[in-house]
Chains A and B, each alone.
Chain A
Amino acid sequence: MLPVRIERIVSLAPNLTEIVYAVGAGDRLVGNTDYCDYPAEAKQLAKIGDTMHPSVERIIALKPQIVLVSTASQLEAFTKQLGQQSIAVYVTNPGGLEEMFSSMTAFGEMFETSAEAARATGDLRKRSDAIATALRGVPPVSVFYQVAGEPLYTIGREAYLTDLVKRAGGISVTADVPDAFPRYSDEAALSAKPEAIILPTGGSMGNANSAVASPLRDSPAVRNNRVYKINDDFLSRPGPRLVDGLEALAHALHPEAFK
């Protein structure tokens, strides 16, 4: 680990930005991406581009001691350039609730805010445990999670969202499909007959993905009016608000369990 206290942090992903704030190190964040919009203070920071195309020049100009990265896509050249400026790079890409908690703990240690990180993690765990308790013994609802409608994308075996849906008392009808976000066949979607459909939309997605894809329009979910729009920022960013996503999913799928 680094020998000195970290005072200047740059985050290259919205979920990592949210984790930094959650563990109480937000005041030491000096730069983040165009998409980092939560909490509100994050919007005021210097912007370095987006996750996939960060501006190395701007990052260096911000003189961070550490850069938090969620994707390894351009890591090699990128790390080398930052290394030459004695800037450390920390890669973490939490895949799901448990890994997100681990990232929070790791950030707490790294930024020397372990107590606050533990408190925040504990609160979030309590909320997710409460969901588990409320749903104990409740039969699961079959769910189609529509990542995008045209063309149709869903969640597959490797997506942490498949696990999140399960924790929320659902069972994704595409849980066994290989890949994290498979391009899904229209025919298979028509045959899937989910009891509920989740549309992640809103937040930084705007009103994209707010309509059910055409092969699903005759599904039991649509006929029984069980289509739920959930803020995509809760679900697609594996950060502290994943628990908000879990709660929203659970309340949508099992309103009877939360009366």
Chain B
Amino acid sequence: MITQEKSANAGYATFRKAFGVCAVLLLILLIVFVAAALVGSQRLPLASTLCALTGQIDCGLSSEQRAILFDIRLPRILLAGAVGICLATAGAGYQALLRNPLAEPYLLGVSNGAAVGTMVALVFFGTREWSRPVMAFAGALAATFVVYRLARGRAGATPERLILAGVIVTTFLSSGIVFITTMMDATRIRSFTFWLLGDLSGTTSSLLAITLLAALIGVVVLALNARSLNLMMLGERDAFDLGVEVGRVRITVFVAASLLVGASVASSGSVGYVGLVVPHLVRLTFGSDNRIVIAASALAGAAFVILADTVARTIIAPRELPVGAITALIGAPLFVYLLKRR
């Protein structure tokens, strides 16, 4: 449970703890990032690659090796990181806001909303790349709104109702996805099945930039609301009595989380389990103060997805697996283990 810290001293202690946690996670992320850059389906010389990563030009890499490293591998690692930040932070936000450990973009139907948005963009405005994240954001927001409206009973939205509403919206949108795929030709369906399971390859610089930007905005907005979320975890009424603008915080968190989920789905499809596993791991390790959980989830999420994608693109090279298969493969058993251990 959260205890409310009032003294300046306690606030300083939290700041120091958050700083320490972030420093450790940042170091882990850096190590994962470099390790991921060193391996791939094509072997690059270790020393020269490390040298090239530091930004030096003359490291003895051939132009082809430079192309592999800088045009294919690094953009993909960056995208994996951005997607990890988006999904893990969105999960942490939903879980805090809804006081429900199972609240996760997928379970709430938000990811499917974003997926339907992306598919609509692909079918109707196929050539305009920017339409994908925009439609995905709109889809995520619409799904969130519908879920929340459905969940709102006379006594307000209870966590149970919300999850139930999420399940209903998810199933409804899943059939929507099936419907849209039947309207496509066979070759596009194949790329779509891959995309639906999460695929980080073949990103464009603009899509990468949009995802990184959305990750940054989303994390900052959620972090700014972390203190209110702490209070709301005591119960919305209590939080209201303590001066939290509950309604405003709720809308802000929903919009920020939709932005995060929309950007990640538009660029890489549905990478599952990240929003569930990463915040859980973070809370188990560092406690449930949202001021720490949100920042830590962002960093740990980035490392987790980069790691998973590294496995996806190397384990059966030169073939590839969808990254979503790996996150589920790592995520599901880990999640069961964590539940059992408690």
- Residues of A bordering B, CB below 8 Å: 53, 148, 150-153, 156, 174, 177-179, 182-188, 190-191, 204-206, 208-209, 213-215, 218
Residue of B nearest to A150 (CB): B202
Q: Which residue of B lies closest to A176 (CB)?
A: B318
Known: A156-B319, A191-B42. 19 other contacts (CB 8 A): A53-B182, A148-B190, A150-B191, A151-B199, A152-B201, A182-B318, A182-B319, A183-B194, A183-B319, A185-B317, A185-B319, A186-B72, A187-B318, A188-B41, A188-B317, A190-B72, A205-B185, A205-B187, A208-B187
Contact of A179 among B40, B194, B319 (CB under 8 A): B319
Min Cβ gap B164→A in Å is: 32
A213 CA to B204 CA, complexed, in Å: 12
> B120 to chain A: closest CB distance in Å?
18
**Partner pick for A191 among B64, B191, B201, B316, CB 8 A cutoff:** B64
Contacts of A187 in B (CB 8 A): 40-42, 68, 72-73, 313, 318
Contact count A vs B, C-beta below 8 Å? 78
CA distance A209 to B185 in the complex (A): 12
Q: Does B67 contact A (CB under 8 A)?
A: yes
Which of B40, B42, B319 counts the most A-chain CB atoms under 10 A from its CB? B319
- Quick one: closest A residue to B75, CB to CB? A186
Contacts A183-B319, A185-B320; is A151 near B41 (CB within 8 Å)?
no
* Residue B188 interfacial (CB < 8 Å): yes
Smallest Cβ distance from A134 to chain B, in angstroms?
Answer: 32
Which of chain B's residues have a CB closer than 8 A to the CB of A152?
A: 201-202
Known: A187-B40, A190-B67, A191-B68. A151 touches B191 (CB 8 A): yes
Q: Which residue of B lies closest to A192 (CB)?
A: B318
Q: How far is the CA of A153 from the CA of B185 in the complex (A)?
A: 16
Contact residues in B for A188 (Cβ distance below 8 Å): 41-42, 317-318
**Min CB distance, B291 to chain A, in Å?**
39
Return A39 CB to nearest CB of chain B, in Å: 21
Complex contacts, A205 vs chain B, CB 8 Å: 185, 187
CB-contacts of B75-95 with A (<8 A): 76
A sample of 19 inter-chain contacts (CB < 8 A) reads A150-B191, A151-B191, A151-B199, A152-B202, A156-B319, A178-B319, A182-B318, A185-B40, A185-B42, A185-B317, A185-B318, A187-B73, A190-B42, A190-B71, A191-B42, A206-B185, A208-B188, A214-B202, A215-B71
* B274 CB → nearest A CB, Å: 20
**What residues of chain A lie closer than 8 Å to B201, measured between beta carbons?**
151-152, 186
Complex partner residue of A148 from B41, B182, B187, CB under 8 angstroms: B187
| Chain B residue contacts of A191, Cβ below 8 A | 42, 64, 68
Query: Count of chain B residues with Cβ under 8 Å from any Cβ of A?
Result: 28
Cα-based distance from A179 to B71 in the complex (angstroms): 27
Q: Name B189-222 residues within 8 Å CB distance of A.
A: 190-191, 194-195, 199, 201-202
Complex alpha-carbon distance, A26 and B6, angstroms:
85
Can you name the residue of chain B whose Cβ is closest to the Cβ of A182?
B319
Q: How far is the CA of A201 from the CA of B72 in the complex (A)?
A: 25
Residues from chain A with a CB closer than 8 A to the CB of B185 are 204-206, 208
Please pick, from B41, B67, B71, B194, the residue contacting A185 in the complex, using a CB distance under 8 A. B41
Residue in chain B with minimal CB distance to A184: B318
Q: Would you give the 0/1 interface string for B47-73, flagging 1 where the beta carbon is closer than 8 Å to chain A?
A: 000000000000000001001100111
Q: State in angstroms the CA–CA spacing of A186 and B64 once bound together.
A: 12
Which positions 1-50 of chain B face chain A at CB distance < 8 Å?
Answer: 40-42
Chain B residues near A214 (CB-CB < 8 A): 202
Q: A209-B187, A215-B72 are in contact. Are A190 and B64 (CB under 8 A)?
A: yes
Bound CA–CA A65/B67 (angstroms): 59
CA distance A184 to B191 in the complex (A): 12
**Bound: A156/B316 CA distance, A:** 13
Q: Which residues of B contact A206 (CB under 8 A)?
A: 185
The CA of A98 and the CA of B229, in the complex, are separated in Å by 68
Q: How far is the CA of A95 from the CA of B182 in the complex (A)?
A: 26
B127 → chain A closest CB, angstroms: 12
B199: chain A residues within 8 A (beta carbon) = 151
Closest 8 CB pairs of A and B: A188-B318, A185-B41, A182-B319, A187-B42, A185-B318, A188-B41, A186-B72, A187-B41
Pair B68/A153 contact, Cβ less than 8 Å: no
